[in-house]
């Protein structure tokens, strides 16, 4: 079962939506760390899925908007993408090795540190400025776009795919790309 939809479905402000997801990610890290060995795989799968959809939605909707609207947007977003890529590489390695790997706990601790530092940087440098440079209507539109992107996002991390097009190409058929693009455009109020 995916945790994204029920807990964030009521969020209509993109910043509130992303903050709620950050909290869910922290909770899932707790669950993976505390899960008995025989139940760790399920909790880790949920964590991988939420991280993948969260970052994909940010890459497709939030970061491009931040680049255009916030002070020093290119630098802020480039820094976040660098952080995301580093975390994705470790997450991808962990996903391939599985939760039974001997170095899983050590890698999970490193991943958690990286993801939480990244989330704090987003909240401080990107989200604060976005809230100050956007209207409620714009944030509602972005939230709808993030939800649409999440519905079609990859379920595994793809390091090196920090753009919407590259992320959608990573293991996703062309027909899926068209549906995602149309869903995002419709959610964002643009013609497909």
Q: Give per-residue pLDDT as tens, 110-128.
A: 999 999 999 999 999 999 9
The confidence score (pLDDT) of residue 110 equals 96
- Left (φ > 0), alpha (ψ -120 to 50) or beta: where does 171 sit? left
Q: Which residue has the higher pLDDT, 19 or 146?
A: 19
Number of other residues whose CB lies within 10 A of the CB of residue 101: 13
Q: Highest mean pLDDT range out of 77-81, 84-88, 184-188?
A: 77-81
* Domains of the chain: total: 1
Q: What is the CATH number of the domain that holds 75?
A: 1.20.120
In a domain, 121, yes or no: yes
Each residue of 40-59: pLDDT tens digit?
A: 988 998 888 788 778 878 88
Query: Is residue 164 included in any domain, yes or no?
Result: yes
For residue 44, give its domain range.
4-187
pLDDT band for position 147 (50/70/90)? confident
Dihedral sign from CA coordinates of 81, 84, 88, 89: positive
Indicate the pLDDT class of residue 177, thresholds 50, 70 and 90: very low
Q: What CA–CA distances, in Å, run from 22 to 15, 29, 101, 123, 177? A: 11, 11, 26, 10, 26
> CA-CA distance, 122 to 15, in Å (whole number)?
10
Per the domain annotation, does 43 fall within a domain? yes
**Taking residues 144-163, what's their average pLDDT?**
61
Identify whether 192 is part of a domain. Answer: no
pLDDT at 68 over 50: yes
Q: How far apart are CA 122 and CA 170, in angstroms?
A: 24
9 Cβ contact list (under 8 Å, min separation 6): 147
Q: Is residue 127 part of a domain?
A: yes
* DSSP SS3 for 42: helix
């Amino acid at each position: 079962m995916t945790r994204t939809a029920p807990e964030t479905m009521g969020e209509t402000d993109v910043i509130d939506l992303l903050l709620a997801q950050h909290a869910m990610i922290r909770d899932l890290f707790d669950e993976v760390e505390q899960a008995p060995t025989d139940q760790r795989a399920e909790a880790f799968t949920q964590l991988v899925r939420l991280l993948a959809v969260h970052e994909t939605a940010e890459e497709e909707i939030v970061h491009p908007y931040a680049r255009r609207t916030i002070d020093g947007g290119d630098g802020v977003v480039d820094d976040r993408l660098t952080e995301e890529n580093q975390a994705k590489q470790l997450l991808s390695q962990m996903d391939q090795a599985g939760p039974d790997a001997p170095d899983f706990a050590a890698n999970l601790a490193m991943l958690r540190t990286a993801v939480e530092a990244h989330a704090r940087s987003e909240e401080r440098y990107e989200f604060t400025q976005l809230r100050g440079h956007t209207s409620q209507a714009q944030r509602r539109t972005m939230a709808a776009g993030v939800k649409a992107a999440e519905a079609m996002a990859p379920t595994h991390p793809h390091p090196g795919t920090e753009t919407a097009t590259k992320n959608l190409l990573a293991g996703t058929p062309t027909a899926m790309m068209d549906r995602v693009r149309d869903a995002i455009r419709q959610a964002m109020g643009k013609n497909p």
